[in-house]
Amino acid sequence: MCGICGVIHLDGQPIEPDVLQAMNNALTHRGPDDAGYYINDNVGLAMRRLSIIDVAGSPQPLYNEDESVGVVFNGEIFNFQALRDQLTQAGHQFHTGGDGETIAHLYEDHQVETAHYLRGQFAFAAW
């Protein structure tokens, strides 16, 4: 099982990359295959990946088309292919074949309602 972590400074202070990296390093045992970081001013997300689906093609964080949404994700989205088909028909463009990227595109359209569309076992953080 992968590991995800994140921090948000509600007072607007910028994220210190070293702190986020230290948090993520503590999760190395959760995912030896990859590490990823997303920093946007006062928000930082990180992940450690254990690759299962689209092993080579789904590095995280995952993004929507213009990278205005970043997602770290763990788990499996059972209905991702049907959601992906619907999102593609609506004009979304995917860059990976993995299930997690679906979350970035759903979040772009549905924000806090995103989880209602997903079927599976998962945890994610999006900004």
How confident is the model over 91-114, as a mean pLDDT? 95
How many structural domains does the chain have? Answer: 1
Assign residue 67 a region: left if phi > 0, alpha if psi is -120 to 50, beta otherwise? left
Could you tell me if 61 and 13 are in contact, meaning their C-beta atoms sit under 8 angstroms apart?
no
The range of the structural domain enclosing residue 23 comes to: 3-126
pLDDT confidence of residue 33? 86
In this predicted structure, what is the pLDDT of residue 64? 95
Q: pTM for this structure?
A: 0.85
Catalytic site positions: 2
Instruction: Find the CATH number of the domain harbouring 94.
Output: 3.60.20.10
Rounded CA separation 44/31 (Å): 18
E strand residue ranges, 22-105: 34-40, 43-49, 62-63, 70-77
